[in-house]
Amino acid sequence: MHTAIIIGSGFSGIAMAIRMKSLGLEDFIILEKSNDVGGTWRDNTYPGAECDIPSALYSYSFEPYLKWEYKWSHQDQILEYIRHCATKYEIYPHIHFGQEMKCAHWDETKSSWMVTTGQGKQYETRSFISAIGQLHFPSVPEFKGEEQFEGAQFHSAEWDHEVQLSNKRVGVIGNAASAVQFIPEIAKTAAHVTIFQRSANWMLPKQDRLYKAWEKKLVRAFPFLLKIYRLRLWLLGGVVFFLMKKGNGLLRSIAEKISIRYINRVIKDTELRKKLIPNYPIGAKRILFSDNYYHALNRSNVRLVTNSIDRINSDSITDVRGELHELDVIIYATGFKTNPFLMGREIIGINGVSIHETWKDGPKNYLGMTVAGFPNFFMMYGPNTNLGHNSILIMSEAQAKYIADCIQKMKDQSWKSLVIKNSAFETYNQEIQERLQNSIWAQIEKSWYKSASGHIPNNWPGRTMEYLRRTKKVDFSAYQVS
Ligand code: NAP
């Protein structure tokens, strides 16, 4: 029996593994469905894919990297960083590639989890850690006539690099974080790009640039400077962006003005400008950062369509006004199925109860990591740990530390199981949901942060500072042990 099994080798899974090793907990394995590490940074290979959080902050605090070329790194550089960490911390020997976890059962008599993969392998473990992330399953909405389309169609997270887009008429459905990154790239060679926008999004200029040679030299000579820069970025997120998201009227109005000024500065067509101004308060959905999306909209081969899609035909999309948009390729930049969590995975806890049954009214959790009725089961980037104002890796590191501390304590005390008490679980959830109902995310009718019932299952209501404080030391009195 293993001490722990980690599912997934993206940023969270690798952070978890590194933390386990740092405590001398070597008896763990990682089950990875693919043949490489990297998670979302392995899967999302669309042109222009990059991170909208600066790399000095979107990297592990314990592994500063001197090889970043840009302030905001591209997908391949981030993937390289993850591979670098996996190599440096000797994580590869722990990874079982090509094994996709399908179900896990808690065995009360043995106090262990039996994990089964889609490839038919079974593994027994004392602790079981899901690090599969929130943005994992592409969401492709159903449109009338979709199956009739004769050209290629694919989702941005499953980019088909075999499909040549040069000189093609490309339709893009969606205009959020992923779309604004690849549209400027494909517009350079496509015959025409038609963007189907359902709602406008707030966007701020990214002001990305290559690091200058002297900056790189300076940081090499004085690596602590990178830490100071990271601290500055963290505080900027924790103060300015957080307060804006909390609803600070002054900051919100300043940010909205900057965004509108940006539109007016770049977009020449006054009608187009109007279409780009969102009808919801800034921060209620993810704020987008780009230096080239609005510029792409000025191109003669790019058109923004704001009429809804009525149907898809063999070689076109008809909008609700009856206009036909002829297309060779359709790209769905329509995001991910973020809820239910652990979709397509069967997790069976005490008394044979499934996690999906436990979560039928929303994915409850304790600190985003533990669930009542599921002993020795931990989640990383679980419910209510997503951020809109800072780097998610700060949360991942905090979770890795917390979970590793739980596992070590179990070992030291010879505890066989650890499960969050119902009282702590319910009190925590009530607090988080009450706070979220007063947050900016509640002030919008629909977004991927909000379920149809109004429950906000994804986001953390506070600053990262608060999460770090609450997870720093495990309060074992909140857990039942045996
Ligand atoms: P998303 O934010 O969920 O956006 C989906 C887009 O598709 C929206 O424009 C949405 O319109 C549109 N859409 C969805 N269903 C539709 C339908 N039935 N008809 C018409 N339009 C439809 O997806 P995403 O852009 O892939 O980003 C997902 C998340 O990934 C982000 O929030 C972010 O957390 C992460 N991400 C991060 C980065 C990064 O740089 N760090 C980059 C890419 C993605 P509405 O707005 O009207 O719903």
How confident is the model over 326-363, as pLDDT tens digits? 999 999 999 999 878 999 999 999 999 999 999 998 89
Q: Whose CA is nearest to atom 12 of ligand 1?
A: 174
Q: Indicate if ligand 1 lies below 6 Å from the C-beta of 275.
A: no
Q: How confident is the model at residue 17 (pLDDT cuts 50, 70, 90)?
A: very high
The answer, yes or no, to whether any atom of ligand 1 lies below 6 A from the CB of 33, is no
**352 Cβ below 6 A of ligand 1:** no
pLDDT at residue number 458 = 92
What pLDDT does residue 59 have? 97
Residue 180 CA: nearest ligand 1 atom is 25
The rounded Å distance from CA 201 to ligand 1 centre is 10
2-137+338-481 CATH, one of 3.20.20.70, 3.50.50.60, 3.40.220.10, 3.40.50.2300: 3.50.50.60
Average pLDDT over residues 7-36: 98
pLDDT in tens, 58-67: 999 999 998 9
For residues 131 and 482, give the distance between their C-alpha atoms in angstroms, rounded to a whole number.
25
Fold equal for 2-137+338-481 and 146-209+251-332 = yes
pLDDT digits (tens, 9 = 90+) for 173-207: 999 999 999 999 999 999 999 999 999 999 999 98
Give the pairing of strands 346-348 and 324-326. unpaired
What is the reported pLDDT for 446? 85
- Ligand 1 and 177: CB distance under 6 A: yes
Q: Which atom of ligand 1 is nearest to the CA of 135?
A: 30
Lowest mean pLDDT among 189-203, 229-243, 256-270, 279-293: 229-243
* From 132-136, 338-342, 381-385, the region with the lowest mean pLDDT: 338-342
The CATH class of 146-209+251-332 is alpha beta
In the three-class reduction of DSSP (H, G, I as helix; E, B as strand; rest coil), residue 98 is classed as coil
| DSSP string of 313-339, one letter each residue | -SSEEEETT--EEE-SEEEE---B--S
| d(C-alpha 330, C-alpha 319), whole Å | 14
Atom of ligand 1 nearest to the CA of 332: 7
In the structure, what pLDDT confidence band is assigned to residue 449 with cuts at 50, 70 and 90? confident
Q: The pTM is what?
A: 0.95
Kindly give the interhelix angle for 392-413 and 464-471, rounded to the nearest 10 degrees.
Answer: 0
Cβ of 388 below 6 Å from ligand 1: no
Q: Is the pLDDT of residue 447 over 90?
A: no
Any atom of ligand 1 within 6 Å of the Cβ of 141: yes
Whether residue 51 has its Cβ less than 6 Å from ligand 1: yes
- pLDDT above 90: residue 445: no
Is the pLDDT at 465 greater than 90? The verdict is yes
Position 245 pLDDT exceeds 80: no
Whether ligand 1 lies within 6 angstroms of the CB of 251 is answered as no
Which residue in 334, 38, 22, 57 sits closest to 177, CA to CA?
334
198 lines ligand 1 (CB under 6 A): yes
Task: Give the mean pLDDT of 311-331.
Answer: 98
Separation CA 315–CA 286 (nearest Å) = 33
CA atoms within 13 A on the CB side of 211: 21
Which residue minimizes the CA distance to atom 36 of ligand 1?
177
Bin 72: left if φ > 0, else alpha if -120 < ψ < 50, else beta. beta
Taking Cα atoms as reference points, which of 474, 460, 465, 468 lies closest to residue 432? 460
Domain-wise residue ranges, the chain: 2-137+338-481, 146-209+251-332
The H or E element containing residue 379 is strand 377-379
Instruction: Answer whether 3 contacts ligand 1 (Cβ < 6 A).
Output: no
In what helix (H) or strand (E) does residue 221 lie, and over which residues does it extend?
A: helix 213-221
